[in-house]
A = this chain, B = another copy of it.
Amino acid sequence: MNIGVIGTGNVGQTLAAKLSSLGHAVLIGTRNVAEKAVSTGKDGKSGFKEWLAANSNVKLATFADAAASAEIVINATHGGISVNALQLAGAKNLEGKIILDLANPLDFSHGTPPRLIPELSNINSLGEEIQKSFPLSKVVKTLNTMWCGLMINPDLVGGGDHVNYLSGNDVEAKAKVKSLLKEFGWKDENLFDLGDITGARATEAVLPIWLRVSGALKTGAFNFRIIR
């Protein structure tokens, strides 16, 4: 499948590398290709240039090009700039397509732990805002309640038995995303359909407890299981 990943940060890299290793044709989109292609790490850390060299099947592209040829577009940008990044990708390029949104509307400007962006929480959500901004696309919110290492490798903890929510207005789009999630190792019984895209209000609101627990455990390698 042709997949476009919007965002070249840690989450975007993790998703792109995994999807590529599964045999998908992956374009990873950025604002400025020329700049990103040569961006090296700071303080001796490996940068995007090195990552791209190590993942040579993934192609770097503009947001627009990454979206244009894709069947599924993954939003892996910071929640505060997601709508803008997708606008740069272009509504036309996103039309009729699935936008798999795994971002969170976090505001880091007041220190840690980050807050939720007020206009995108409680009675709204990033998932809904994206759906409203791109009414001809099919937004599926999923994977946003965990560390990216677990998104693509659920077996890393608890034999993979922990919950991943899906919210979205289009049933077929959710089915397609579910099938992609199964390629990552997600079991059907751990994929929890919350209904329409307003479910994103609930899953984005998981972040405060996720961040606090993560701070206490000093790891992101955990998730929640629903016990009945």
Contact = CB atoms under 8 A, between A and B. Distances in A.
Task: Give the interface residue-count category, chain A.
Answer: 35 or more
Contact of A206 (B194, B209, B211): B209
B192 A227 contact: no
Contact of A228 (B110, B158, B202): B158
Nearest to A123: B115
Contact of A205 (B209, B221, B225, B226): B209
Nearest to A193: B216
Is chain A's binding surface mostly helix, strand, loop or mixed? mixed
B202 A212 contact: yes
Interface string A178-219: 000000000000001111000101110111110111001101
Given A118-B122, A205-B205, A161 B227 contact: yes
Contacts of A208: 122, 201-202, 205
A165 B227 CA distance: 16
Contacts of A192: 213, 216
A122 B227 CA distance: 26
Contacts of A223: 226-227
A184 to B, nearest CB: 16
A72 interface: no
Interface in A149-180: 157-158, 161-162, 165
20 contacts: A115-B122, A121-B122, A157-B228, A161-B227, A193-B216, A194-B213, A194-B216, A195-B216, A202-B209, A205-B205, A205-B206, A205-B207, A205-B208, A205-B209, A217-B226, A219-B228, A222-B228, A224-B224, A224-B225, A225-B227
Given A206-B206, A217-B228, 10 more contacts: A122-B122, A157-B227, A162-B227, A192-B216, A193-B216, A194-B213, A202-B211, A202-B213, A206-B209, A217-B226
